[in-house]
Structure 1
Amino acid sequence: MSNSYYDEYIDSNELPQSSEEDLPTWVSDKNSSMAAYRAIQTLYLQKRKYIKRHGMQSDYTKKSNFLIKKSEVALIARVNPQPLFHSNSYSAQLSAHLKNINERLEYQKNKRITQKPGGLRSKNKEQLVKEIQEQNNINAKTLAEVVDAAYERTLINVPLDIRTKLKITI
């Protein structure tokens, strides 16, 4: 008999992986590097949400809206930014990690800005009017077909004696 309940029903490769993430070697619980690393990850998710929701060039006039600053990391980690990024043994790796994250955010921002807008906003007035007129013509044709079919069904379902009195021929 197996030790785990899930072993009976789920393959071991289908089980969710452990929640322990792969941390860089310079991250440790013994110092503030773990808090700084987690702060960077949290800020990264917030900045990605901002980039995902804003597609106009004018939304990115302030870099603090889409890039992570050292002071933000230090504020969330509750330490001073000077020793965090300059005088600790892990400062160089932390700065490199922050730079890498900011480069990714900058790339995502540029990719978002260069996307072509879709939908009705991207079309000019003539195209919109033409599409609406075509759709109205299609709707009128289908309406006429539906009305004719309903009329034919109604005539077919009328009893024979009423059709003869009304002099309706099919």
Structure 2
Amino acid sequence: MTDLDYFDQFDDEGTEDSASKRDSLPDWVSNSNSSLAAYQAIQSLYKEKMQYIRGHSKKSHYTKKGSYHISKSEVARAAGLAKPNAIFHSVDYASKLTKELNDKNALLVASKEKILLSRSSSIKDLSKKELQSELRGRDRYKEISELKADEIVDLTLKRLPLDVKRQLYLA
């Protein structure tokens, strides 16, 4: 295989013409009304919100719902309309557009939850309380590891409840 054959197996993004792009749109999207502008606005806002989600992994970054959620008014503004009622209530494709918006919002919420659950465990990503408990645990481990065996046994026996000590005939 030559180098030219290798590159021919990939699609060029620049050679994509509008006919193939038009075929990928849902059937309710049309150039004759504002559905195309609204659909493209939802897609572009979805990309923006996904970029935000990929770049922010702390729960405190998501205090505002607008950072990971697409609102109807945002879509209307991006589509060039003054009010969301014009495209989400009073047109025949409103239910399909609302469904598309809800689907994208569900994907955004799922991505946000996934990012928050898969937080890195490195020290720089820990909160102050988590760092403090980590340091206390390390200090405690260091103290215990420096103790001798008989000191560890004595310490363990001191912490045993009285009824357990009686069963072991230690009290």
Superposed displacement of residue 30, structure 1:
0.6
Who is 1:91 aligned against?
Answer: 94
| Bigger CA radius of gyration | 1
Superposed displacement of residue 53, structure 1:
1.2
Superposed displacement of residue 116, structure 1:
3.1
Question: In 2, distance between residues paired with 1:77 and 1:116?
Answer: 35
Who is 1:163 aligned against?
Answer: none
Q: TM-score, normalised by structure 1?
A: 0.63
Amino acid at match of 2:28: W
Amino acid at match of 2:92: S
Who is 2:161 aligned against?
Answer: none
Per-residue displacement from partner, 1:87-124 (whole Å, max 9, x unpaired)? 11111100000000000000001111111323333584
Equivalent pair of 2:49/2:108 in contact (CA under 8 Å): yes
Q: 1:119 aligns with which of 122, 127, 139?
A: 122
Question: In 1, distance between residues paired with 2:79 and 2:10?
Answer: 35
Percentage identity across paired residues of the two chains: 37
For residue 87 of structure 1, give the secondary structure of its aligned residue in structure 2.
Answer: coil
Who is 2:66 aligned against?
Answer: 64
Equivalent pair of 2:57/2:119 in contact (CA under 8 Å): no
Superposed displacement of residue 57, structure 1:
1.2
Who is 2:28 aligned against?
Answer: 26
Amino acid at match of 2:87: L
For residue 88 of structure 1, give the secondary structure of its aligned residue in structure 2.
Answer: coil
Q: 116-125 vs 48-57, which deviates more?
A: 116-125
Amino acid at match of 1:74: A
Per-residue displacement from partner, 1:28-47 (whole Å, max 9, x unpaired)? 11100010011111100110
Per-residue displacement from partner, 1:99-152 (whole Å, max 9, x unpaired)? 00000000001111111323333584449xx9xxxxxxxxxxxxxxxxxxxxxx
Question: In 1, distance between residues paired with 2:5 and 2:36?
Answer: 34
Per-residue displacement from partner, 1:8-39 (whole Å, max 9, x unpaired)? x5486544373543100011111000100111
Count of equivalent residues: 120
Q: 1:101 aligns with which of 101, 104, 120?
A: 104
